[in-house]
Amino acid sequence: MKKFLTTGATAVALVTAGAAHAEFPMDDNITFVIPYSPGGGFDTIVRQFAPAMERAMGTTVVPENISGAGGARGGQSVHRADPDGYTIGVYNIPGLTVNEVLGKDQGFKLDEVTWLANLAVATYALAVAADSGINSVEDLCALDQPAKMSDTGATSTAAVTTRITFGILGCDIVDVTGYAGSNDAMIAVISGEVNATIKPITSLAKYLDGDGGTGDMKLILTLTTEEAVPGVPTATDIGHPELAKFTLNRVIGGPPGMPAEVVSALEEGLRAASEDPEVTAWAEGAGVELEFVNAADTTALMNNLSSFYQQYKDLAAVAE
């Protein structure tokens, strides 16, 4: 009888635990941490995805802005949360990847994050003023003095991309930083304050010719392996396909040690949201390149990015 009661109690405990776990995500709200203040690109994409996730998963998804430390504070908040699936976040990649490679203490390690999905990717291009006599990378690198590039800050992802890109190309540059935002950095090219800038193609689009753009800028290189803009050379064309690894990713992760079943549920919720008609319509109108990547492939992506940037650690570092 004693053996029977013990076995029965164990069975009840297992059934109860299984039932509680099976309720995910119905017994609480999902907090979706945004590591920046309201209004930016990270904030916008999460607030677009949250309602679609709610429709797909049948629960409430609450965006929460936790800004500071270049996106690290939000990552810390997610890292400290219980691994029950009710706290997830979007990560600034490759910004956090570069910081980690450079040895900065961000309060958590990226390889401990439970990666859930990649939602979107932005590819870069090198742009100059439309009336500039610079029509190629060769022209830019053949100026009488190092080419002036524009960026918001020396540690910004675009600035890191710029330093590594031109280091690989063996081309001397001066990165002029301090612009209030990417738009100001692009206007600096148009006004002639600097020679060029590297920015996401979607950001540059409003200043290019056609599709409603002003035509004030032109592209001389896309950091892609295949043609992204008709007639514009690619990284492959100039013999450096590795430059296509420079992208901006909207990667979603959770605390360490999340159960596989919870990871799967969140992965599918994010996948469904990425295919939601309202989300896809918004992305098309906003020029956002949705690119859903599942949990396993996102984990591999993160590992590959870490190895890639490690190769260029010296170029990524900001000169003291």
- Ranges of CATH 3.40.190.10 domains, the chain: 123-245
- Sign of the alpha-carbon dihedral angle for 25, 26, 28, 30: positive
Residue with tokens 């930016």: 40
Pair of tokens at residue 317: 């570092």
- Indicate where the chain has its CATH 3.40.190.150 domain(s): 29-120+248-314
Q: What does the pLDDT read at residue 274? A: 98
Beta bridge partners, 127, equal 197, 219
Q: What is the mean pLDDT of each run of 10 residues along the chain (320 residues)?
A: 38 38 81 92 94 97 93 96 97 92 94 97 96 97 97 87 95 94 94 97 92 94 96 98 94 98 97 98 91 97 95 81
Do 212 and 237 meet the contact criterion of CB atoms below 8 Å apart? no
pLDDT value, residue 283: 95
Residue 86: DSSP 8-state: S
Count of residues in the chain: 320
Cβ distance 30 to 74 under 8 Å? no
Q: How far apart are CA 206 and CA 139, in angstroms?
A: 24
List, in sequence order, every residue forming a beta bridge with 87; answer none if it has no partner.
Answer: 31
Q: What is the pLDDT of residue 11?
A: 40
As a three-state string, the secondary structure of 147-202 is EEEECCCCCCHHHHHHHHHHHHHCCCEEEECCCCCHHHHHHHHHHCCCCEEEEEHH
pLDDT in the model for residue 319:
59
What pLDDT, on a 0 to 100 scale, did the predictor assign at position 59?
Answer: 95
Which architecture characterizes domain 29-120+248-314 according to CATH? 3-Layer(aba) Sandwich (3.40)
Would you say 182 and 203 are in contact if contact means Cβ atoms under 8 Å apart?
yes
Fold of the 123-245 domain: D-Maltodextrin-Binding Protein; domain 2 (3.40.190)
Beta bridge partners of 114: 254
| pLDDT number for residue 14 | 37
Handedness of CA 34, 150, 199, 244 (dihedral sign): negative
Contact 89, 114 (CB under 8 A): no
E strand or H helix that includes residue 114? strand 114-129
Structure confidence at residue 22 (pLDDT): 52
* pLDDT of 7: 41
**Close Cβ partners of 212 (under 8 Å, ≥ 6 residues apart):** 206
Instruction: Report how far residue 150's alpha carbon sits from residue 133's, in angstroms, rounded to the nearest whole number.
Output: 18
Neighbours of 244 (CB within 10 A): 18
104 CB-near residues (< 8 Å, 6+ apart): none
pLDDT of residue 70: 82
Q: What is the pTM of this model?
A: 0.83
